[in-house]
Chains A and B, each alone.
Chain A
Amino acid sequence: MSTLDRCLNVYDLRAAAKRRLPRAVFEFVDRGSEDGVAVANNRNSFERIKLRHRALVDVSGRTMNTTLFGKPVSMPMAIAPTGAAGLCWHEGELELAKAAAKARIPFTLATGAMTAMEKIAQEAGPSVGGRLWFQLYVWNRRELSYQLIERAHRAGFEALIVTVDTIVPPNREYNTHNGFVLPFTPNVTFTLDIMRHPVWFSQVLMKYFTTIGMPRNENYPDEYKRMSRDDPTTAQMVRQDSLNWEDIKIFRDKWPGILMIKGINRPDDALKAIEYGVDGIVVSNHGGRNMDSVVATIDVLPEIAEAVGDKLTVILDSGVRRGSDICKALALGAKAVLTGRATLYGTAVGGEAGAFKAINLIRNELDKTMAYTGCRTVDEVTTDIFFGGRQGNRLYERVMDEAAF
């Protein structure tokens, strides 16, 4: 736990996670796709935006409390769905979900999670103050997906998030180089990697082996739970390139709770989402993990927010590492952000305590940024805090003007 105490920001947690995890697991979490251009651009776009101190506002009574879909949260943040929490820590999804419940922010469970949704609901659900969202990768055999969301509904998940930005599997070349395959499949490269990380091996992998055996996709239909994605049957089953708006219509009919679409990057798509009765969209480029040429989410957010107004809830993810990033996203029209890697780094370093630490580090930074910019509530966070024009900062406009020369 002393390692955790020394982590004062998300980058410290990242460095500690890197030491702890096998390279293949760390890179699966940390890297993007192809040349890593999108991941870097996501960060640059946040960092380019410049804020101004507001002098002499009494901010001693400030609060980050807000509501998401009509229910309270302690800060404008939720945990993004991620597939590898269970490899960062033994039953990592559960640890992360407990941390979220304790921090009073929603937790999203991924379709590819290694913990069964019923267990998450039981130990980190509404009974302990948790808000649970379920992320859906739509399978080729749609009826299996319908069964899955019925199961999520029965388990008490309040929201369904359909991921729409993963039409085809991305080129994450490093996974192949590292011998890393999900669901977890042993090979020589990865085995050597594991042997170099005995703490992880004993604390994570051995705990699975001595209980459930090899970690698997616990929310998949039984016949697919243990199958590798490279297996032709599975590859066919997880094929998503036929997903279209008609499917959303069906999900809207079937799902009685909050329905979100994750991976919207265009105003026209956002408008279409309203038409289909969607409650919220996540402006996301999948953490820069899918299309490497993708635009930064903070750059596309303003026009999407303008297009949809208050007709649906806009959430942003991809690149959030500092509390100031949340302030910038709120100012540009998001109601909240999701964190994927940031909270996974924490989970990898200290399970629930680590995830909780990551949340609190970001919370503290958001609080300070609000204080510096003179915002007492999240509703007071507007582009008025920016240096420069409404759309962003002056630097950003400069860059665009320069490009137009």
Chain B
Amino acid sequence: MANLDRCLNIWDLRAAAQRRLPKGVFDFVDRATEDHIAVANNRSAFERIKLRHRALVDVSKRSVATTLFGKPASLPMAIAPTGAAGLCWHQGELELAKAAAKAQIPLTLSTASMTPMEKIAAVGGRLWFQLYVWKQRELSHQLIQRANRNGFEALIVTVDSPVSPNREYNTHNGFGLPFVPTVRFTLDIMRHPAWTTGVLMKYFGSQGFPKHENYPDEYKSSILSGAGSRDALRADSLAWEDIAKFRDMWPGVLMLKGVNRPDDAIKALSYGIDGIVVSNHGGRNMDSSAATLDVLPEIAEAVGDKMTLILDSGVRRGSDIVKALALGAKAVLTGRATLYGTAVGGEAGALKAINILKNEADKTMAYTGCRTVDEVSPDIFWGYREGNRLMGAA
């Protein structure tokens, strides 16, 4: 735990996670796709925006709390769906869910998680479920019914992954999900004994190899074999008609994740969608994709007052949250940031990551004279309404 105490920001957690995890697992979490242009550009877009101090506002009673879909959240943030939490820590999704519940922010469970949703539901807190739509649609329909029965309040349909991205580093590392034991990855594991005993051996000692616990039975085992799952996962036929069906079937909050265009956002509105996540999948899919913070203003202009906008991809500091709020988001999702924490200390590490971001958001609000999240507006920016001068020039 001493390790965790020495981590003062997300970058520290990242460095500690890098030491702890096998390279195959760390790279899967940390890296993106192809030449890593999108992931770098996501960060640049945040860092380019400049804020100004507001002098002499009494901010002693400020609060970072907000409401999301009518219910309270202690911070305008939720945990993004990620597939590898269970490889960062034994039953990592569960740890992350506990941390989110404790921190009073929503957690999103991924379709590809290694913990069954029933077990996550037992933790309580606010739970969202992310859906990758399978080729056999009835399997997806069964899955969301299962999520509904388990009390998940929101469904997030990922729409930015029609094809699998070129994550070349996974192949070079001999790492793949489904998990394939290659020589290269085995050597990698052997170099990380703490992870092997603390994560992998715990799975072997209890349930055996980690599986996609929320997959239908016939695909669960394919986390090892891979056979059949590729075609089952084929998502390039996903279309708006599917969304119409999901809207009919899902009684709760329905979100689309991976919307980057104002026209798509307007269309989402017409399909009765409650919220969209402006996301480029953490820069992990299309390496040429625009930074989400750059596309946010025009999407907010198009639909901002009619649905809830959430932003992800690149959030590493509390100031990033404040910038996203100013440009029209109601909240952000964190994927890697909280996974690094999970990898370093399970629940405690994830909670630490959340609290680091909360603390930074709090300070940024104080510096800019914002007492509530509603007071965060482009007024805090240096430059034009839509952003700083650099953005405004466009």
Binding site for B on A (CB under 8 A): 6, 8-9, 11-12, 47, 49-60, 62, 322, 324, 327-328, 364-365, 367-369, 371-374, 387-388, 393-395, 397-398, 401-402
In chain B between 28 and 86, which residues have their CB closer than 8 angstroms to a CB of chain A? 34-35, 37, 41
For A368, give the chain B residue with the smallest CB separation.
B163
Of B140-148, B203-211, B258-266, the segment with at least 4 beta carbons within 8 Å of chain A is: B258-266
| A397 CB contact (under 8 Å) in B168, B258, B393 | B393
Q: CA separation between A395 and B393, bound complex, in Å? A: 10
Of B16-24, B99-107, B285-293, B331-339, the segment with at least 4 beta carbons within 8 Å of chain A is: B285-293
Contact assessment for A52 and B394 in the assembled complex, using a CB-CB cutoff below 8 Å? no
Contact assessment for A54 and B261 in the assembled complex, using a CB-CB cutoff below 8 Å? yes
The secondary-structure label for the interface of chain B is: loop
Chain B residues contacting A364 (CB-CB under 8 Å) are: 166
Contact assessment for A55 and B394 in the assembled complex, using a CB-CB cutoff below 8 Å? no
Chain A residues contacting B290 (CB-CB under 8 Å) are: 50-52, 387-388, 393-394
Q: CA separation between A347 and B34, bound complex, in Å? A: 22
Contact assessment for A367 and B163 in the assembled complex, using a CB-CB cutoff below 8 Å? yes
Least Cβ–Cβ distance between A384 and chain B, in angstroms: 9
Q: Is B159 an interface residue (CB 8 A)?
A: yes
Identify the 4 closest CB pairs spanning chains A and B, nearest first.
A387-B290, A50-B290, A8-B168, A401-B393
Instruction: Count residues of chain B with CB under 8 A from any CB of chain A.
Output: 43
Least Cβ–Cβ distance between B201 and chain A, in angstroms: 30
Q: CA separation between A373 and B294, bound complex, in Å? A: 17
Contact assessment for B289 and A322 in the assembled complex, using a CB-CB cutoff below 8 Å? no
For A386, give the chain B residue with the smallest CB separation.
B290
Chain B residues contacting A6 (CB-CB under 8 Å) are: 172
Contact assessment for A59 and B162 in the assembled complex, using a CB-CB cutoff below 8 Å? yes
Least Cβ–Cβ distance between B262 and chain A, in angstroms: 10
Q: CA separation between A365 and B166, bound complex, in Å? A: 8
For A387, give the chain B residue with the smallest CB separation.
B290
| B242 CB contact (under 8 Å) in A56, A322, A388 | A56
Q: CA separation between A324 and B259, bound complex, in Å? A: 19
| B288 CB contact (under 8 Å) in A58, A62, A328, A397 | A328
In chain B between 258 and 281, which residues have their CB closer than 8 angstroms to a CB of chain A? 258-261, 264, 267-268, 280
Q: CA separation between A327 and B286, bound complex, in Å? A: 12
Q: Is B171 an interface residue (CB 8 A)?
A: yes
Contact assessment for B394 and A47 in the assembled complex, using a CB-CB cutoff below 8 Å? no
Contact assessment for B390 and A372 in the assembled complex, using a CB-CB cutoff below 8 Å? no
Contact assessment for B37 and A53 in the assembled complex, using a CB-CB cutoff below 8 Å? no
Q: CA separation between A51 and B34, bound complex, in Å? A: 15
Chain A residues contacting B260 (CB-CB under 8 Å) are: 52-53, 55, 387
Contact assessment for A56 and B41 in the assembled complex, using a CB-CB cutoff below 8 Å? no
Of B123-131, B231-239, B341-349, the segment with at least 4 beta carbons within 8 Å of chain A is: B231-239
Known: A6-B172, A322-B34, A369-B288. A56 touches B163 (CB 8 A): no
Chain B residues contacting A322 (CB-CB under 8 Å) are: 34-35, 287
Known: A47-B35, A393-B290, A402-B393. A55 touches B295 (CB 8 A): no
Q: CA separation between A109 and B280, bound complex, in Å? A: 41
Contact assessment for B286 and A53 in the assembled complex, using a CB-CB cutoff below 8 Å? yes
Q: Is B165 an interface residue (CB 8 A)?
A: yes
Chain A residues contacting B159 (CB-CB under 8 Å) are: 53, 55-56
Chain B residues contacting A54 (CB-CB under 8 Å) are: 261, 264
Known: A50-B41, A322-B34. A9 touches B394 (CB 8 A): no
For B157, give the chain A residue with the smallest CB separation.
A56
Contact assessment for B236 and A55 in the assembled complex, using a CB-CB cutoff below 8 Å? no
Q: CA separation between A386 and B294, bound complex, in Å? A: 12
Q: CA separation between A369 and B163, bound complex, in Å? A: 9
Chain A residues contacting B121 (CB-CB under 8 Å) are: none
For A376, give the chain B residue with the smallest CB separation.
B236
Contact assessment for B258 and A53 in the assembled complex, using a CB-CB cutoff below 8 Å? yes
Chain B residues contacting A12 (CB-CB under 8 Å) are: 168
**Contacts beyond the supplied A55-B258, A393-B290: 17 A-B pairs with Cβ under 8 Å:** A6-B172, A11-B35, A12-B168, A50-B290, A51-B288, A52-B289, A53-B258, A56-B239, A56-B240, A57-B239, A59-B163, A324-B287, A328-B288, A365-B166, A368-B166, A372-B285, A401-B394
Contact assessment for A51 and B240 in the assembled complex, using a CB-CB cutoff below 8 Å? no
Q: CA separation between A402 and B394, bound complex, in Å? A: 10
Contact assessment for A55 and B261 in the assembled complex, using a CB-CB cutoff below 8 Å? yes
Chain B residues contacting A11 (CB-CB under 8 Å) are: 35
Contact assessment for B236 and A58 in the assembled complex, using a CB-CB cutoff below 8 Å? yes
Known: A8-B166, A9-B34. A388 touches B238 (CB 8 A): no
Least Cβ–Cβ distance between A404 and chain B, in angstroms: 9
Q: CA separation between A54 and B291, bound complex, in Å? A: 14
Chain A residues contacting B288 (CB-CB under 8 Å) are: 47, 49-51, 324, 327-328, 369
Q: Is B188 an interface residue (CB 8 A)?
A: no
Least Cβ–Cβ distance between A330 and chain B, in angstroms: 13
Chain B residues contacting A328 (CB-CB under 8 Å) are: 288
Known: A58-B236, A402-B390. A51 touches B242 (CB 8 A): no
Chain B residues contacting A9 (CB-CB under 8 Å) are: 34, 166, 168
Q: CA separation between A57 and B243, bound complex, in Å? A: 11
Chain A residues contacting B240 (CB-CB under 8 Å) are: 56
Chain A residues contacting B291 (CB-CB under 8 Å) are: 50
Contact assessment for B172 and A8 in the assembled complex, using a CB-CB cutoff below 8 Å? yes
Least Cβ–Cβ distance between A300 and chain B, in angstroms: 20
Q: CA separation between A11 and B390, bound complex, in Å? A: 33
In chain B between 159 and 176, which residues have their CB closer than 8 angstroms to a CB of chain A? 159-160, 162-163, 165-166, 168, 171-172
Chain B residues contacting A8 (CB-CB under 8 Å) are: 166, 168, 171-172
27 A-B residue pairings within 8 Å (CB atoms): A6-B172, A8-B168, A50-B41, A52-B289, A53-B258, A53-B285, A53-B289, A55-B256, A55-B258, A56-B267, A59-B236, A60-B234, A62-B236, A324-B288, A328-B288, A364-B166, A368-B165, A368-B166, A371-B236, A372-B162, A372-B285, A372-B286, A374-B162, A395-B294, A398-B393, A398-B394, A401-B393
Q: CA separation between A12 and B169, bound complex, in Å? A: 11
Least Cβ–Cβ distance between B251 and chain A, in angstroms: 21
For B390, give the chain A residue with the smallest CB separation.
A398
Known: A365-B166, A372-B162, A398-B393. A50 touches B294 (CB 8 A): yes
Chain B residues contacting A368 (CB-CB under 8 Å) are: 163, 165-166, 286
For B45, give the chain A residue with the smallest CB separation.
A395
